[in-house]
Amino acid sequence: PEVIACWGFSYRSPLALEVNALAIEHGKRALFGTVEGAIARIGPFVIPGNTACLVCAESRILSNAGPDEVDIAAAYGRRYAGRIAPDGPAHPLFAEAASRLFLLELTSVLTHYGARTVNGFVELDTSGADRRFHRVLRVPRCPGCSREAPPRIPWDLTFEPPRRTT
């Protein structure tokens, strides 16, 4: 089966969100990864209909953020709507190491050898050789991966009040 690999775009990037939407719409699996300054993230590995998507991951990341970070994330999306954002500053050796780990994860996905980023992502930082796994569950009614609720016909029906017969 096909896998879409999306490396190097911020999770907030309109392009990454578009790749996420296309993967879900067409039922294709997708692996995401990025380096943003001193932090790299590998994952989530999105299996449409089964696992959390990129929008779920970003929602979970921002759920622990303050109002300023949420505003900055929204402004970033508006600023780069319809175009590719420039790469942010990152140490070249750190970016290369993270990209190689992304390729190892992609190889695990393609060979069915136990992908570590199903329902989560691995976060690396430049402060040490420490890798942290963050579990990501699907967000209820996520705008990225939840299907619209089917029409609730019984609830939408209207009835006329009963008429008295004499």
Q: Domain map of the chain by residue range?
A: 3-156
Starting from the edge strand earliest in sequence, which strands make up the sheet with 131-135, in order?
A: 3-7, 29-36, 39-46, 120-125, 131-135
Q: So what's the pLDDT on residue 104? A: 95
CATH superfamily of 3-156: NAD(P)-binding Rossmann-like Domain (3.40.50.720)
Q: How far is CA 3 from CA 109, 136, 143, 148, 155, in A?
A: 8, 20, 22, 25, 40
Q: Are 41 and 130 in contact (CB under 8 A)?
A: no
Burial of 35-74, coded b for 16+ CB within 10 Å and e otherwise, reads bbeeebbbbbbbbbeebbbbbbbbbbbbeeeeeeeeeebe
Tell me the per-residue pLDDT of 3-35, one tens digit each, with 9 for 90 and over. Answer: 999 998 888 888 888 999 999 999 999 999 999
pLDDT at 151 over 80: no
More confident position, 60 or 89:
60
Tokens in use for 27? 């039922």
What is the rounded average pLDDT of the residues 75-99?
A: 76
Q: Can you give the pTM of this predicted structure?
A: 0.79
Q: Are 6 and 30 in contact (CB under 8 A)?
A: yes
Q: What is the chain's mean pLDDT, rounded? A: 84
Work out the number of other CB atoms within 10 angstroms of the CB of residue 136.
Answer: 23
Amino acid code (one letter) for 40: A
Q: What are phi and psi of 3, to 5 degrees?
A: -135, 130
Rounded Cα gap, residues 132 and 166, in angstroms: 77
